[in-house]
Amino acid sequence: MVKNIDLRELWKNLSTAKSVVLFPHVNPDGDAVGACVALCLTLREHGVDCKVCSGKVPDYLGFLNTSYFIDDREVGNPEICVAVDCSEDYRMDRRGGAFYRGNKHYCIDHHQTDCGFGDRFYIDGAAAAACTIIFDMLKEAGAVLSRDAANAIYTGICTDTGNFKHANTDSRSHNIAAELLEVGVDHTEIMASLYKNRSMKKVLCESRAIEKAFVFSGGRGIISYLSSEEMAKINATHEDTDEIIDKLRDIAGVEMAAYLEEREEGIKISMRAKTYGNVRDICRSFGGGGHIAAAGATVKMSMEDAFAAVKRAIEESL
């Protein structure tokens, strides 16, 4: 735990502010969007002018209430800007400029780190999701969750635990899910949207990446990639490739998986470890970070060089 404020004081400061803008990490996932939606809606019910400054919300999260999501040009000078589920300020991408236009800067996160950023930070590396921190804060404050806020928190816990498959799944995540089911979250609708709604483009990207995957270290290492040319052929975007890395990891015998993708900003590396590896340290060595079992980085090198470097790092680590 890295913090310079407790949850009660954090809620007090946020709920008595005039204006608050929340900033999820770049390419936001269910946890980043869910945590922002839940906090935003609840703060608004307490009279705070709260908005969320996010990059594009992926289509599969379209069922969440994103009514108060704005562009970075609309941020203005809010009283408090909060980075949510975002471990470093560079992970807000070009929205970082808007973040620093706020009067005060906070961070609420669950990525393991030795230091926080901003004036006030609450970083619980043991929390399965940023959504569990938001839930705890709202519960401690006695705030009532609307149906939309409850759905958002449930979504974040499901997605960040891999639907209760990953090692970060704990009694807390199950207990919060149970409490949310008791207040009537739309479980069937959320599961259908998250897991039974895969576009053909997504499936084609996955099959292509799996088909050309390179297996090494006696089957414990696996690496694959897609070039922008291949993605263009399928008419796919980054949203269509975000689950490839999990499919690679899920193959029997694999302990460490990497997926590389050609992007405008460089080669995006996604890594996963299954039972014992530490991909966070590998990704840190490439200038990125994340969790022990799920991490990423972006490097400025050719696909060929990135492939060789990541493969070597996995071989050494395994």
By CB under 5 A, name the binding residues for Mn ion: 31, 85, 130, 160
Tokens of 243: 């689950």
Determine the longest span between alpha carbons in the chain, in angstroms: 58
From residue 116, alpha-carbon distances to 4, 11, 123 in Å are 9, 18, 7
Q: Report in angstroms how near the CB of residue 122 gets to Mn ion at its nearest.
A: 14
| Angle, helix 147-160 to helix 187-195, in steps of 10 degrees | 40
Three-state DSSP state, 8: helix
- Sheet containing strand 289-290, strands side by side: 214-216, 221-226, 256-263, 266-273, 294-299, 289-290
Query: What is the smallest separation between the CB atom of 82 and ligand 5GP, expressed in angstroms?
Result: 16
Contacting ligand 5GP within 7-26 (CB under 6 A): 25
Among ligand 5GP, Mn ion, none, residue 291 binds (CB under 5-8 Å by kind): ligand 5GP
Nearest distance, CB of residue 21 and ligand 5GP, angstroms:
20
Per CB under 6 A, 270 contacts ligand 5GP:
yes
Per-residue contact string for residues 79-118; x = within reach of ligand 5GP by CB under 6 A:
--------xx--x---------------------------
**Does residue 291 belong to the site contacting ligand 5GP (CB under 6 A)?**
yes
- Considering only 146, 164, 298, 318, the residue that binds ligand 5GP (CB under 6 A) is 298
User: Degrees (nearest 5) of the Cα angle 209, 212, 216?
Assistant: 110
The contact pattern for ligand 5GP, residues 37-56, with x = CB under 6 A and - = no contact, is --------------------
Taking the C-alpha atoms of residue 237 and residue 255, their distance in angstroms, rounded to an integer, is 27
The binding site for ligand 5GP (CB under 6 A) comprises 25, 87-88, 91, 245, 270, 288-291, 294-298
